[in-house]
């Protein structure tokens, strides 16, 4: 169960964020409304939500998940692989000190973004991507093992982050799409295959028995509902324009 979440408001500079989506420029005013609804949905799922103010110096900083991995035993500050995002980590330690005694750090030349890390109980799957290199993954694995966790590396071929294409919904249920459908690393899970035309919906988040699903993906929504979860549909269309999804917008712990 999660008790807390930390989010960061999008700034007006978000329109200059990194993207490969080719879906047009985000509309800031709509993004603000969507972000507030996202926060309200997390509260509906029973979380206390700390909302950090926007940082105009970093257009992608609303995607706060990437800058830290929060476990039950420690917080780990990452080192983003995107050069324009490295400064985002400066303000995070002071925020996390309110919640954690043990704070660890990934050091250069290692890079890692927590969008590449999926928690399954005491095992953390770490995607090796354009943003997460082997050095960063090895540092993360070493820190996790220090606190009694295990780590499994997952080479990525097509997607930006691991959780772009795979999401753990607890109870051994795993949303999978694209390159992960046949991956032997996920053989032991009850795989819920996301159709190719709804691939974006592979990024959902489980929060205390609820599953947040992006708006507009009815097939995926129905499958998740049929598994017995309470589905919360959330519109994040403006964040999708920046390659962002539901998980990217919060740290949940």
> Which residue among 45, 62, 204, 248 is the active-site one?
248
Phi, psi values for residue 187, rounded to 5°: -60, -35
Quick one: CA torsion of 193, 67, 51, 232, rounded to 10 degrees? 0
Could you confirm whether 161 is annotated as catalytic?
yes
Could you confirm whether 35 is annotated as catalytic?
no
The CA-based angle 43-47-48, given to 5 degrees, is 95
- On the CB side of 199, how many CA atoms lie within 13 Å of its CA? 15
- On the CB side of 144, how many CA atoms lie within 13 Å of its CA? 24
> Which residue among 35, 62, 161, 204 is the active-site one?
161
Q: How far apart are CA 252 and CA 234, in angstroms?
A: 17
Q: Write out the H or E segment, with its range, that includes residue 245.
A: none
User: Which residues are designated catalytic?
Assistant: 161, 248
């Amino acid at each position: 169960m999660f008790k807390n979440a930390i989010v960061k408001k999008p700034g007006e500079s978000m329109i200059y964020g990194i993207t490969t989506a080719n879906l047009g420029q985000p509309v800031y005013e709509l993004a603000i409304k969507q972000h507030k609804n996202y926060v309200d949905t997390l509260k509906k799922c029973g979380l206390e939500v700390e909302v950090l103010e926007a940082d105009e110096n970093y257009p992608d900083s609303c995607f706060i998940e990437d800058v830290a991995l929060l476990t039950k035993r420690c917080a780990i500050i990452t080192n983003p692989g995107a050069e324009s995002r490295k400064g985002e980590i400066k303000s995070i330690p002071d925020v996390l000190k309110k919640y954690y005694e043990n704070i660890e750090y990934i050091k250069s030349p290692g890079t890692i973004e927590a969008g590449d890390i999926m928690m399954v109980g005491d095992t953390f799957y770490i995607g090796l991507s354009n943003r997460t290199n082997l050095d960063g993954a090895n540092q993360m694995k070493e820190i996790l093992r220090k606190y009694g966790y295990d780590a499994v590396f997952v080479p990525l071929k097509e997607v930006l982050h691991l959780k772009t294409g795979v999401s753990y919904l607890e109870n051994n249920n795993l949303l999978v799409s694209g390159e992960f459908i046949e991956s032997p690393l996920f053989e032991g899970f009850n795989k819920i295959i996301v159709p190719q035309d709804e691939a974006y919906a592979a990024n959902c988040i489980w929060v205390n028995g609820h599953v947040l699903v992006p708006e507009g993906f009815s097939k995926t929504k129905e499958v998740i509902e049929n598994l017995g979860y309470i589905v919360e549909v959330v519109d994040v269309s403006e964040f999708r324009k920046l390659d962002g999804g539901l998980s990217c917008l919060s740290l949940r712990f």
